[in-house]
Amino acid sequence: MCRNARWIKGKSFGVAHRAGQAQLQQHGLFFFPHPHSFQAAVLMVVAQQMQHGMHGQKCHCFRQAEIALLYEQSNLKRMLEKENFGTLSYSFFQGDELTSYRQAVEKCKNFCTNFKTSYQNLFFYGTVGTGKTFLTNCIAKECIEQGCSVLYFSAASLFDLLARNTFDYRAREELSALCADLYGCDLLVIDDLGTETATTVTLSHFFTCLNERLLRQKSVIISTNLSLEDCRNRYQDRIFSRIASNFEFCKLTGPDIRMCKKVSAVSGPVR
C-alpha cells in the first residue's frame, strides 16, 4: 500500500478534516464541510493529492482507499457484496415479464455508463418483490466503483432521521450536516417510498431535498411498491409534480422473487 492510501486509512475524519483544511488553504482554497460529513471525506482525499503533487492522477492504492471511503459512507457496503450486476438472474421471469425486466436492466446499465456525462433520475415502481431494490443496488455499486458519492436510505429511516433532527434543537448541527450530504452527494437512493411515517414537516423537508437536488442536477433514484395513482394521492401535488416531470419511470412486474427464492431453496432450483 502506498503512503497516500496509508494516510487515508490512518486518519480519523476529525483529524483528516483539520489537516485537509490546512492543506487546501495553502493553495488558496477554502471549504468548510461538517467534519463528519461526506464532503469532509472528499476534502481529505483532495488535500492529500495536493500534498503529494498528484493533481488528479491517482495511483491504484490511493484509488482503492478512496473507493473504500465511498462504500463506508454509502450505507450499502454489505448489501452490495450480494446485490450487483454480477449476481443478477433472469431465471424467475418469463414471457412479457422477462422482456420487461431485461429492458429495465438495460436501462440501469445505461444509467451507470452515462452517469458522469448525463443527468438522470429513475423512479422504480411495481408489485412487491420484483427486483426494484436489487436494481437500485446494482446502480449504486457501479457508481461507487466509478468514484461517485452515493447515499442510501430507506424512506422510513430517512423520514425518521429528518423528524428527530428537526424537533431536537440540540441536533441542529447534525441536521445541517445531513442536509449538506443529502443535497450534495452524486447519487441519492431512497428505497421503499411509502413505508415511512410522514408529517407535514417531514414532507416539507422531503420536497426541499428533491427540489434542491433537481436544481443542482444531482441524480436521485426512488423505489416504491405504490402505484403512480397511490403516489399522487399520498404525497403533496408539488412533490409528485417534481417526480413526474423530472424522473424516468420504470415499472417492474412479475413474481415475488423473494418468495421464489425461498421455495427454490426448499424444493430445488427453478428450471
| 3-state DSSP assignment of residue 221 | strand
pLDDT digit string, tens, across residues 147-193:
888 888 899 989 988 887 776 666 677 777 778 888 988 999 999 99
Highest-pLDDT range among 6-10, 174-178, 209-213:
209-213
| Three cell numbers written together for 206 | 422531503
The residues pairing with 220 across neighbouring beta strands, listed in sequence order, are: 188
Q: Give 60's pLDDT tier (boundaries 50, 70, 90).
A: low
Identity (one letter) of the amino acid at 47?
A
Predicted model pTM: 0.73
The per-residue pLDDT of the chain, averaged, comes to 77
The span from the CA of 220 to the CA of 186, in Å, is 9
Q: How many helices (H) and strands (E) does the chain have?
A: 13, 5
Helix axes 38-51, 3-10, angle to 10 degrees: 150
pLDDT digit string, tens, across residues 88-107:
988 888 898 899 999 999 99
User: 9: left (phi > 0), else alpha (psi -120 to 50), else beta?
Assistant: alpha
Going by C-alpha positions, the residue among 209, 221, 196, 73 that lies closest to residue 136 is: 221
pLDDT over 80 at 210, yes or no: yes
Give a three-class secondary structure readout of 204-246.
HHHHHHHHHHHHHCCEEEEEECCCHHHHHHHCCHHHHHHHHHH
The span from the CA of 156 to the CA of 134, in Å, is 18
Identity (one letter) of the amino acid at 99?
T
Q: What is the pLDDT of residue 234?
A: 92
